[in-house]
Structure formats: structure tokens, C-alpha cells
Amino acid sequence: MGDAITFDDFLKVDIRVGQVMRAEVFPEARKPAIKVWVDFGDEIGVRKSSAQITAHYKPESLLGRQVLAVVNFPPRQIGNFMSEVLILGVPDQDGEVVLLKPEQYVPLGARLF
């Protein structure tokens, strides 16, 4: 187990619910990936992400799906694409990413706490 953090440390990580509005294959990425545009509601708006999730997801299967993402990391250049958020997932038994999502629909921009 890692080092203990305080609740205040945890609150520094801004994890929000968004809905995938657009997704497309990212052929320029070094590892297979999908470019994803996620709407986090009025306060945050639409943000982009590059996600290595091709083992379980096709771009068209992501449309309309709610996801959880860290929205307060600095943007990161991935090839010719600027990734602005980190979509969250956990590895399956083969190490392939399975996305996290709310159990039922929640408002866009809702914060995890």
C-alpha cells in the first residue's frame, strides 16, 4: 500500500463526471489509443483526452457514455494531440483498461468525493 494522504490531499484531485461527445481512432499514437472529447457541463465544458482503451472499446461504442476523469492535471501533448483530462479506468486480468462510470446517470460535471 502507498503512503497515507490526508482528506485535503484527496480533495486536490478534481474528479468529475463527463459524457463522451466524440471519439475517433488515434493512428498517430505510439500505442493504440482513441481520441475522446468529453462534455463536463457548463462549468468546465468539453475537454479532450487520449485514452489507451482499444482492447475493450471502439470509438462508436463510447458515444453518450458517462466517464470519470481527472480534470485538473496540466494538459499533456500526445503526438499532435493535446490531452486535457485523464479518463479513469482499472486494469482487467490482462492489464487492459476498463473505464469507470457512475452506476446510474448523474449530472455532467458532478464531482467525486
Question: Cα(6)–Cα(64) distance, rounded to whole angstroms?
Answer: 35
Q: Residue 2: pLDDT band by 50, 70, 90 thresholds? A: confident
Any idea which architecture 10-99 has in CATH?
A: Beta Barrel (2.40)
With a threshold of 0.85, does the pTM exceed it? yes
Mean pLDDT of 3-15: 94
Give 31's DSSP letter: S
Question: Cα(72)–Cα(74) distance, rounded to whole angstroms?
Answer: 6
3-state secondary structure of 99: strand
Report the percentage of the chain scoring pLDDT > 90.
93
